[in-house]
Every structure is written in C-alpha cells, then in structure tokens.
C-alpha cells in the first residue's frame, strides 16, 4: 500500500526531477528574509492604527502580551505609513510565487508515512502544520483584504494579527532547524541522507533545469511586483498597477481627482445631510463643554494648510494633497483644553458601513499639521472625499482620516 505509486503517500508518486535540497534551500532563504520583513512591517502597521484606543479603533478585547510593543504612532515623517504599508503589501504580493514554489518543492514531505516516527518527529510535523497553515492563512487573508475589501467575519485586523504570531512562531522554529541545512545545501556539503532527502525516488526526465525553474519563479515575482508597486507610488504610476484593485470609482480629474475609498453614496451620506442648514460640527470636551459650529462658523476660525498623503492599509496611497482647514488642536482649545490636547474620538455622520468613527492619540491632535480639512487642492472637498469636513493627520493610516465628520469628543481615551 505504501509503495503504490498512484498514492501521494508513496515516494514513487512524486516524479519531478527538480525537487531536491538545492531548490528548496534557495527558496527557503529568500522567504527567510522576505517573511521576516513582512512580519516586522506588519506589526508596525498594526501599531500605526493605534489599536490601544480600544474598543474604537480595534474591537479585539485584549492584545495581552502580544501587544507588548504597541506605541503611540508618530506623525513624522509624513510618508511613514505610506512607506511601511506600501512595503508590506508590495512585498507580500511579490512573495506569492516564491511561497507557492517552496510549498511545491516540499509537498512530498507533507504526505510522508508513517505520520510520526518518534515524539520529536511528531512535534516537527505538528509545527509544519502550523507553518503551512499559518502561511497560507496570512497570505490569503492579506491578498483578500487588498483585493476584495473586507470579506471577513468580524475584522481583518485581529485575524491577520493573531495569525501572524502563530505563523511567525512556527516560522522561527522551522528556520532554527533548517537554516543550517539550507546553507550546507548551497555549499553542497550535505551528508548523504540529507542530500537525498527531497530527491524523488523515480524521477521523470527533466523538461526544465533547476535554474530555469528559479527564473520562472523570479519572473513571476517580478511581474507581480511591477504590476502592484504603482499603487503605492501614486501619481502617474497608479496606471501601471494593473493588479491593484480597481473597484473604486474613477476619481476623475481636477483638485478632487485622487483615489476614493468609499463614496458618499456607498456610505449613505446624502446632500440633505451635508446641506449647510442641516450639518453641524459638535465639539465636546472638558466637563461636557459643547460647541456647535456650522460650516460658515468653522470658516471664520483660523485656517491652516498642510501637504499630506492618504495611505490605505490596502497598500495604495496618493501623492501629497494640499489640505486646508482648522487645526485639531485649535478645536481642542474650543473644547476647553488650553494646554496639551488630549485624545479625540471622531465620529462621522455616515449611518452604515464599517468606518464610522476613529480615535486619534494626543500626539496626533497636537501636531499643527493635523486638520479638520474643509478644502483640498484649493477647492471645497467633494462629497466623496468627505464634504463638509474630514480629518487628515500626518503619517497616519487612511482609516484614521474620517470623512463626513460631525462630532469630535476630546478627552483621554
Ligand atoms: N466616514 C468614513 N471615513 C473614512 C472611510 C469610510 O469608509 N467612512 N474610509 C477610510 C479609509 S479606509 C481610507 S483609506 C480613507 C480614504 O480617503 P479618500 O476616499 O478620500 O481617499 O478614508 C477613511 N475615512
Ligand atoms: Mo483604508
């Protein structure tokens, strides 16, 4: 039964002459650096949306020890999140062919019988289950989030975050065991048993060399890279991002002609809601002090400008746009915070959809470039970019830049 070559559990089933320690080692070492970079930029990205401001920004009840590294996300340099998240998404997409090739190169091992020869062997195979399962889970949820938006039960963030820890723990264990073997394989210094480990028992004649196969994988990665990276570079490069999602509406030209995430129509925001007779900004602060402002009244406050990009967790970003509006810290003063401003809860008038509110940290409120924007590139905000007023904060993830703002509640969260 075990040697029936029609069954994947038989060594005779796997015939490709390409399989062997050299190919697996090269792919493995590429993933060692790539996945480590993905893990680091991923943790950074999670910190960036200030999940500590729970339950507003993140409904995960408790990050526990896994949240040990969280910090207040800085506001400098303004392109910080554009860079870390662009790197995370572009690298993740680029590594897909490498991941698949690596899995392909070791797939006979996953079918090996008997399932466990010893306790150590059983533990090793269990860790492989977490490694392969965790890897597929992280790449799948990541690509789905980039391509299809939020199709998950609950939120993408906690799934991808906890999955990352499981995956990375198994990844580290695997790397500790295998990196020495991989390095020896590349120097062709493997022991006889190691050297034959992945080699098929009854190979078919080759149709492509190992180097050729590697070029194929590398070419696939390169193709994904050049058709993805443009979405993070923005501007004219946006059009080269053939693989980036194109679900959003065409923003058209002119001052408001940059990428739109969710339209006013999608969010259920109507012109009746935003009409100057209906819309008010409600600012609440110390000891319940409340101020209500119409757009005309807001326009009589000191207006300031800042050039800031929008950078989304999905990996796309815009070039810097020229925003003009009221400083958040000036609004904090109106709410009774004359000294250092506190955190703020920002609420949209939007009735349905996931992002109706977001919280900002005191350091973000205090930055003079953080605005409740009323204009962009010299023109009124368009309905889709958040008219009558939206938040824009330097270096922050797009999701914190709430559109159609109607209420600001200052106070430590
Ligand atoms: N009220 C509200 N604000 C929102 C959103 C939303 O869906 N509703 N989307 C956020 C996300 S995820 C991003 S990336 C930015 C995008 O801003 P833009 O559509 O003006 O480019 O807006 C943010 N502000
Ligand atoms: Mo976003």
Residues with CB under 5 Å of ion ligand 2 are 312, 398-399
Band (pLDDT 50/70/90 cuts) for residue 149 is low
In the structure, what pLDDT confidence band is assigned to residue 235 with cuts at 50, 70 and 90? Answer: confident
Ligand nearest to the CA of 317: 1
Lowest mean pLDDT across 6-15, 78-87, 92-101, 328-337: 6-15
| Rounded-to-integer distance, Cα 364 and Cα 108, Å | 52
Atom 4 of ligand 1 has which residue's CA nearest to it? 402
Residue 152 clears pLDDT 70, i.e. is over it = no
What ranges in 1-73 are assigned the alpha helix state H? 21-48
| Cα–Cα dist 316/197, whole Å | 43
Tell me the two tokens of residue 350: 């939007």
User: How far, rounded to the nearest angstrom, does the alpha carbon of residue 85 sit from its chain's CA centroid?
Assistant: 6
Supply the DSSP string of 325-369, one letter for each residue.
EEEHHHHHHHTT--SS---EEEEES--SSS-SEEEE-HHHHHSTT
Q: Tell me the two tokens of residue 269.
A: 């925001």
Q: What share of the chain is helix, strand, coil (3-state, %, to 5)?
A: 45, 10, 40
The per-residue pLDDT for 151 is 58
pLDDT bracket for residue 301 (50, 70, 90): very high
**pLDDT (tens digit, 9 = 90+) per residue, 316-368?**
999 999 999 999 999 999 999 999 999 999 999 998 777 889 999 999 999 99
Tokens coding 164: 């990352």
Whether the Cβ atoms of residue 388 and residue 381 lie closer than 8 Å to each other: yes
Ligand 1 pocket test: pick from 261, 273, 281, 321 the residue with the most ligand atoms within 8 Å of its Cβ.
261
Average pLDDT over residues 297-307: 98
Percent of the chain with pLDDT over 90: 71
CA-to-CA distance for 258 and 312, rounded, in angstroms? 13
How far CA 132 is from CA of 98, 163, 213, in Å, comes to: 14, 12, 22
159 CA → ligand 2 middle, Å: 17
């Amino acid at each position: 039964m075990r040697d029936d070559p029609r069954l994947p559990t038989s060594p005779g089933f796997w015939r490709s002459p390409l399989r062997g320690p050299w190919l697996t080692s090269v792919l493995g070492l590429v993933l060692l650096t790539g996945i480590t970079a993905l893990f680091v930029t991923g943790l950074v990205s999670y910190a960036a949306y200030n999940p500590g401001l729970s339950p507003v920004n993140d409904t995960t009840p408790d990050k526990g020890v896994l949240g040990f590294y969280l910090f207040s996300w800085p506001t400098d340099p303004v392109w910080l999140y554009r860079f870390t998240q662009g790197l995370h998404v572009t690298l993740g997409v680029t590594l897909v062919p490498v991941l698949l090739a690596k899995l392909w190169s070791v797939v006979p091992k996953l079918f090996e019988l008997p399932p466990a020869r010893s306790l150590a062997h059983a533990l090793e195979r269990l860790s492989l289950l977490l490694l392969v399962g965790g890897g597929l889970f992280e790449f799948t949820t990541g690509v789905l989030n980039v391509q299809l938006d939020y199709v998950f039960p609950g939120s993408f963030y906690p799934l991808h975050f906890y999955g990352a820890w499981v995956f990375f723990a198994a990844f580290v264990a695997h790397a500790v065991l295998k990196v020495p073997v991989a390095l020896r394989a590349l120097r062709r210094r493997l022991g006889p048993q190691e050297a034959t480990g992945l080699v098929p028992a009854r190979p078919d004649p080759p149709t492509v060399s190992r180097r050729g196969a590697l070029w194929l994988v590398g070419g696939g990665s390169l193709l994904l890279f050049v058709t993805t990276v443009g979405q993070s570079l923005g501007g004219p490069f946006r059009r080269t991002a053939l693989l980036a999602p194109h679900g959003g509406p065409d923003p058209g030209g002119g001052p408001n002609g940059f990428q739109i995430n969710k339209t006013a129509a999608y969010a259920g925001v109507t012109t009746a809601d935003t009409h100057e007779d209906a819309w008010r900004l409600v600012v609440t602060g110390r000891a319940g002090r409340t101020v209500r402002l119409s757009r005309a009244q807001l326009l009589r406050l000191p207006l300031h400008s800042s050039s800031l990009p929008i950078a989304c967790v999905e990996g796309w970003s815009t070039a810097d746009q020229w925003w003009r509006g009221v400083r958040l810290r000036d609004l904090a003063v109106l709410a009774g915070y004359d000294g250092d401003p506190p955190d703020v809860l920002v609420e949209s008038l939007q009735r349905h959809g996931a992002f109706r509110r977001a919280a900002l940290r005191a350091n973000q409120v205090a930055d003079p470039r953080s605005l409740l924007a009323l204009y962009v590139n010299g023109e009124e905000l368009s309905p889709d970019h958040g008219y009558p007023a939206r938040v824009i904060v330097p270096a922050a993830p797009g999701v914190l830049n709430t559109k159609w703002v109607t209420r600001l509640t200052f106070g430590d969260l």
